[in-house]
Chains A and B, each alone.
Chain A
Amino acid sequence: MPEINVTPLGAGQDVGRSCILVSIGGKNIMLDCGMHMGYNDDRRFPDFSYITQNGRLTEFLDCVIISHFHLDHCGALPYMSEMVGYDGPIYMTHPTKAICPILLEDFRKITVDKKGETNFFTSQMIKDCMKKVVPLNLHQTVQVDDELEIKAYYAGHVLGAAMVHIKVGSESVVYTGDYNMTPDRHLGAAWIDKCRPDILISESTYATTIRDSKRCRERDFLKKVHESIERGGKVLIPVFALGRAQELCILLETFWERMNLKAPIYFSTGLTEKANHYYKLFITWTNQKIRKTFVQRNMFEFKHIKPFDRSYADNPGPMVVFATPGMLHAGQSLQIFKKWAGNEKNMVIMPGYCVQGTIGHKILNGQRKLEMEGRSTLDVKLQVEYMSFSAHADAKGIMQLIRMAEPRNMLLVHGEAVKMEFLKGKIEQEFSIDCYMPANGETATVTTNPSVPVDISLNLLKREMALGGPLPDPKKPRTMHGTLIMKENSLKLVSSEQALKDLGLNEHQLRFTCRVQLQDPHSDPDTLQRIYVHLKSVLKGYTIQHLPDGTVMVESIVIKVSSSTEDPNTKVLLLSWSYQDEDLGSFLSTLLKKGLPSGL
């Protein structure tokens, strides 16, 4: 039986460094190639030695697919392609291709320039890596090679995020990447058609959460910000430069406009401006409202939001600052956090998920004293709020996607093991399909039952149609006669005559002959006549002929009568039929063995 193997190198029962290997129909595909935020050592990249100990990956992988530009999905890409070595195609959507190098460059700068690491990929490597990228469009089927094809679907989550449908023959896998089933202020909801894949590999970040309606969340958020501003406090919103940040900007921007607020909103500069530029460009990937109104005004051209300067953090009076990175683990957001943490009027709003080990995770868990580098401690007095603005599907959303795609098996990645366990149970209950949740390095195997396509000759089909009932019912199997020819890589079902002709063979006749002894006192011709009459009465609807040469023909079956040499009363009937008339022939032989009725 053919099988599909899925091995997560990262993101198996974990969040971060997504990297999943799929082998399907003899093809090996790498899905995402991310880094882990929580580690600064070798563990931050997936362990590519799993694929091969030494040498390049090119010969082991048919293609690499990147679902979206978040670093935990693409952070290890230059490392893999340039340092480990991979020259095959890398697929990603247009926005991802545009934004990904910006983030990678930023990541490189922080790691190399700030932390002083060596043996890290260089800018040139990022550029070289991006040269290998093949862009994808939504709903466009791309043939990687003759058998492997991939198709991207809209996934929400961030600009350009995509789910991919990977298909080899009739086997298929869907990888969701990160996705969002509820639309937000700037992106639409994920959508997939009923493609019924063999495996649906889904993220499960919020496997145990069913979030409140989005509007309540928005209102809460705005209310919290508004209240804090009115108190004269400063609000820090740590975000990643792209994605949630833009949504929150749109939200605050419109709110400021409506409420006519004056407090400044800042956005940490640098890559943001570039990123906003791309958001303005890829309008087709945004939601209905932005798509429809951009002709009048592009929503990403902010009026109230200004670029942030380091010195503004000490300014008196209320302000709102969006700063990167989102988990408070480094960079500007951490600097500002340190400055503002002492004042209880201030507030930090964590709008997304925080990986274990980051300061964001710590303060969310209620830690009020933080150990900083250099053994100093930091008292956290400011208010810590968590707003689930993270654009991942919640439990209901995951269920909804399963209902949309109707997979045969389910595989969970990108989530915590305990939570996955719960969702796994739910999925198995509700949909009665198998659900897997392999850990990193563990392989999940799914046997498939792929249908084998066979060409059927039209003549044969028409002949069968003419024989059978009114309409072929697609839901019922039906038997038919034909010859299956396997030639090279193709299978063909043709009628036997056609097969003989094609293969240049002579037809062999197969005839069964059988002797039946019969006690009958009459002369041979009379016996034959009696048999003829008998058969005529029994077999209605068949053509029975009494031929002048002393034989009876029932369809193509020949019956001859001869007297036995020993006893003239014992007649020997000779029945002969061809293979095709086996049913009728055997019926006749048993019928005649019973003897002729005396009434004749």
Chain B
Amino acid sequence: MAAHLKKRVYEEFSKVVQIHQEEAPAKKLRLSKPSKSAALHIDLCKATNSTDALQYLLQFARKPVEVESVEGVVRILLEHYYKETDNSVRLKIASLLGLLSKTQGFSPDCIVDDAINTLCNEKSHQVLAQLLDTLLVIGAQLPDSATVRQRLIDVACKHLSDTYFGVRNKCLQLLGCLGLVDSTLNKESDGAGASIVMVRDVQSIISDYFGDQDPRVRTAALKAMLQLHERGMKIHQIIYEQACRLLSDDYEQVRSAAVQMVWVLSQLYPESIVPIPSSNEEIRLVDDAFGKISHMVSDGSWMVRVQAAKTLGSMLQVSPHFLEQTLDKKLMSDLRRKRTAHERAKELFASGEFSSGRKWADDAPKEKLDTNTVNLIASGACGAFVHGLEDEMFEVRIAAVEALCQLARSSPSFAEKCLDFLVDMFNDEIEEVRLQSIHALREISKHITLREDQLDTVLAVLEDSSRDIREALHELLCFTNVSTKECIQLALLELLKNLNKYPTDRNSVWKCLKFLGSRHPTLVLPLVSELLSTHPYFDTPEHDMDDPAYIAVLVLVFNAATSCPTMSALFSDHTFRHYVYLRDSLSHLVPPLRLPGRKQVYGLDSVDSGCGSGSVESAQLFLQQSLNRVSTIQNLEAPGAQELLNFTIRDLQRLGELQTELAGAADFCATYLRCQLLLMKALQEKLWNMAVPLCLKQNVTAAAAAQEILQETYKLEFLYSGLENRQVATIHHVRLQAKALQLVLTARTRQGLDSLINSCDKFLQDIESFQRLFLTELPHLQDSFVDKLLELMPRLSSCKPAELVKILQTTLRQSGLLQLRLPEQIHRATATIIEPTGESDNPLRFTSGLVVALDIDATLEHVQDPQNSVKVQVLYPDGQSHVIHPKPGDFRKPGPHRHRLITQVYLSHVAWTEPSQIEVRLLLAYSSSSTSLSSTASHQWWSDSMDGVPQPEAAVEGTIELSKPVKVYIMPKPARR
């Protein structure tokens, strides 16, 4: 990384200062070239025995070689190679050749001949294999040279008959990587008729080695074939049969590769027809392959099982009846009856129907001949997933769940069938599997409707002690369709139980009920009076509004009522009152209702209800218009400019509140404009020309403004995601202006020349780094503050501080407003602390000096890399503050751009006499160096020190407040002695 950074820096430098620096490294290279190869040569000559030579080579391999000297080094190596008798040294040389030909900028075609020559004379198999590996590297470096490729392929074909498996492996690898995609190649067939040229293509050559005696070679052959496929060659269908045979290989790596091969072919030729051996029937290839791979789910090796289970998930073209066989339990339940009534069950067994028309018992003659195929259909594909889901290794189970999910997403009928199995998986012993199956069920839930008994099993999981499981289940319930009103009642009951048992789930449960209500208005309708415990004649007592369970019920009812207008007739008076209250306090959970005889509360509601795609566009238009309006301000001094800015900022802020989609953009603009406004105010002081002692007060406000602008620019840069380089440049520009203002103010108020000189130097450095960073953006910054400064740059760098300040002062005042262009999408990073709520009146008591753990639960939106940037700050009443870094494991990612932080912070303090409140908040830590790597911006030598103390050239670290502080009542008690 550091090297990369250095290189970048160097590149940027090279653009500015052209002649001087470019020469230096070139000269260095030329110097090192002879020394490098010569040193190697001397070393190798010095070596008296092979061990020494090997040592030298090993040392040599540790240092990189420059492009220019590669060829020389290669020559020396080859020279030595011919002389060397020891295998290990030759092996090392061969591997070095491979390494060297990877050197960037070196074209290895000059060593192809030599490498092939050495290959022909080599006796040692290991060295041969290494040489072929070198050729592979060379071939990969020269993808466009047809002749080299042809020669390499010839070489590979020649050595395919080697007795050492490594050589054959490498040859196959070569063929796989270099084999021609569209043309056939010639192979001289040795034997009697040496003149006959046999035309064979790569595929058939490779497939010959499917039957090699060494499993490693068989694997290599399969891998080479897969490589060909990846390079875009269409694999012949003949290979299918051969690959299928390898599925029953003795070695797991062969089987695993064969599974992939069969899968590839099934994707290439899904519709072609293959015969079932020893019967007259024919089936589609994809079905056949599916059956065969299903069979591998009960393989002896779990690696193969995982591979097979994963592969099944992506075979979407398979016929539905084959698919359904994977879950076929019919056979089994038939057999279960058989235990009690043996004879009868035997008949049932025999007539055990399969959709393919094949039967388990009466296919005897076929089975005798070929067990493989018929087995598959009779018992292989059958129950593949039942096996996979019961597997011993949870890796296989997870793979099976994923595959089920994938298949079910594309086939509603299959989804219906696999439901029971997925629900069964909710009881798995490994939490990961349970979680995965809940997620899987959620993904397919659009296809299915849960029956009552199924829902029952699903809901049982709500009592799980793991929070992740419960929340996943809530998420699942949000998307679930249920069939009867009993289901709704059941779900509500269980959710309330859940709420009672785990009060921290409150938000999640409410949200869940919101969706449940809005999905099933008609099912909720008959339950309303029961749920709200209203009675046609009697007034019932009013519920406690603070009861989370009651709120949960209301959320369910109100959401159902949105699409069921008759429901509100069943509400009692206090329900309406509660509606108004909840609508206000939990507006994200309670939708606006059109209540008869009640005036709609306009305002927020009307906007919400009117929120469509059209309104987003109009809001966007509005945003753009406001920006355009602002851009008309040319001069900061212009009358009415401030007022316009003020209005626009207010407009934008309001827009952000109303239109959530544009909140980020609107906030961004508003903040930016605020910076401008502040700058404008600071500069507009009519007191700039006054003597210093007379305008102390103004100076103070201006300094505060400058400080604030600086703060705001950091927020602008780090809090918003989706910024382009141009916006970053604009932000930095504002920052530069703020700094200029600071400098001017310093010059005016402070005495002492040294500090001033320091600040001036720093400022000049800032300008330079700005120029370096935003070179590409400079054309857009025409007529701006920086533009003007850059024009004056030669003068600035030579003049005295006082003069510099003067120049700055005038430039600042003359420069116009830089127009802001909005990028496509801007999102503001936000965080909300859900837990602790800060409402509790009971102080958290603990013995002073010891620690107490405080649970924190927060959601983060649009925070990039929260693991490193989000911190928790605890502020004690005495002003002490602690920053805590949560563990990376505490962050979960429930959705795109969304994170959830569930962590514990440890508090400790000395004794207090009274309980008191501490503040907890989330901070976004930023560091300018880290962003300079991720984005293109870098401002390494920046320093925000006001007092001009020279700071080390380090990255600036800082924090931005990310969430509103939450108050927690704590009470450290003195320890009893």
Contacts and interface: CB of A to CB of B under 8 A. Distances in A.
Interface string B241-266: 00000000010000000000000000
B464 A396 contact: no
B825 interface: no
B770 interface: no
A395 B383 CA distance: 14
Given A215-B425, A258-B465, A209 B390 contact: no
A219 interface: yes
A210 B335 CA distance: 6
B463 A429 contact: no
A289 B389 CA distance: 15
Given A399-B379, A422-B346, A470-B161, A289 B338 contact: no
B953 interface: no
A473 B209 CA distance: 12
A215 B367 contact: no
Interface stretch (A48-56, A181-189, A524-532): A181-189
Most buried by A among B333, B335, B336: B335
B336 A209 contact: yes
Contact of A259 (B300, B371, B460): B460
B375 interface: yes
B362 to A, nearest CB: 10
B338 A208 contact: yes
A258 B466 CA distance: 10
A429 B335 contact: no
A429 B363 CA distance: 9
Interface residues on B, range: 35 or more
Interface residues of A, number: 46
Nearest to B424: A215
A83 interface: no
Nearest to B430: A289
B390 A215 contact: yes
Nearest to B385: A213
Contact of A183 (B329, B390, B465): B390
Interface string B320-350: 0000000001011101101100100110000
B460 A430 contact: no
Given A429-B367, A470-B161, A213 B329 contact: yes
A208 B463 contact: no
B213 interface: yes
Interface in A185-233: 185, 188-189, 191-194, 208-216, 218-219
B389 A215 contact: yes
B163 interface: yes
B545 interface: no
B392 A208 contact: no
Nearest to A404: B300
Interface string B274-300: 000000000000000000000000101
A257 B393 CA distance: 24
Given A260-B463, A399-B379, A471-B163, A289 B394 contact: yes
A257 B429 CA distance: 13
Contacts of B300: 191-194, 404
A432 interface: yes
Interface in B68-110: none
A501 B9 CA distance: 79
A143 interface: no
A259 B336 CA distance: 30
A211 B161 CA distance: 51
A352 B163 CA distance: 56
Contact of B298 (A194, A209, A400, A470): A400
B392 A287 contact: yes
A418 interface: yes
Name B's interface SS: helix
Most buried by B among A216, A218, A419: A216
A188 B392 contact: yes
Nearest to A214: B390
A288 interface: yes
A185 B342 CA distance: 30
Contact of A213 (B211, B375, B390): B390
B386 interface: yes
A431 interface: yes
Contacts of B368: 429, 432
Interface in B468-506: 501
Interface string B630-666: 0000000000000000000000000000000000000
Nearest to A397: B298
Contacts of A548: none
B391 interface: yes
Nearest to B382: A396
Most buried by A among B367, B392, B501: B392
A210 B336 contact: yes
A12 B379 CA distance: 28
A474 interface: yes
Contacts of A287: 392
Interface string B364-393: 100110010001000100010010011111
Given A185-B429, A213-B389, A288-B394, A430 B367 contact: yes
A420 B261 CA distance: 39
A257 B391 CA distance: 24
B367 A208 contact: no
Contacts of A214: 390
Interface in B382-435: 383, 386, 389-394, 421, 424-425, 427-430
A198 B430 CA distance: 39
A208 B371 contact: no
Contacts of B425: 215
B427 A218 contact: yes
Contacts of A208: 335, 338-339, 342, 345-346
Contacts of B342: 208, 418-419
Interface in B742-757: none
A182 B465 CA distance: 28
Contact of B336 (A211, A215, A400): A211
Nearest to B352: A210
Contacts of B211: 475
A396 B386 CA distance: 12
Contacts of B701: none
A350 to B, nearest CB: 13
Contacts of A289: 394, 429-430
B457 interface: yes
Contact of B371 (A189, A213, A432, A471): A432
A403 to B, nearest CB: 8
Contacts of A400: 298
B463 A259 contact: yes
B392 A288 contact: yes
B393 A288 contact: yes
A569 B429 CA distance: 104
A471 B371 CA distance: 31
Interface string B297-322: 01010000000000000000000000
A395 B332 CA distance: 10
A194 B339 CA distance: 31
A212 B329 contact: yes
A419 B343 CA distance: 11
B339 A209 contact: yes
Nearest to B335: A210
Nearest to A186: B429
Interface of B: 161, 163, 211, 213, 250, 298, 300, 329, 331-333, 335-336, 338-339, 342, 345-346, 364, 367-368, 371, 375, 379, 383, 386, 389-394, 421, 424-425, 427-430, 457, 460, 463-465, 501
29 contacts: A182-B390, A183-B391, A188-B392, A189-B392, A191-B300, A192-B300, A194-B250, A208-B338, A208-B339, A208-B346, A209-B335, A209-B336, A210-B332, A211-B336, A212-B329, A212-B332, A212-B333, A212-B336, A213-B386, A213-B389, A214-B390, A258-B460, A403-B298, A419-B342, A422-B346, A429-B368, A431-B371, A432-B371, A471-B161
Given A193-B300, A213-B386, A213-B424, 5 more contacts: A208-B342, A215-B390, A219-B457, A260-B501, A432-B367
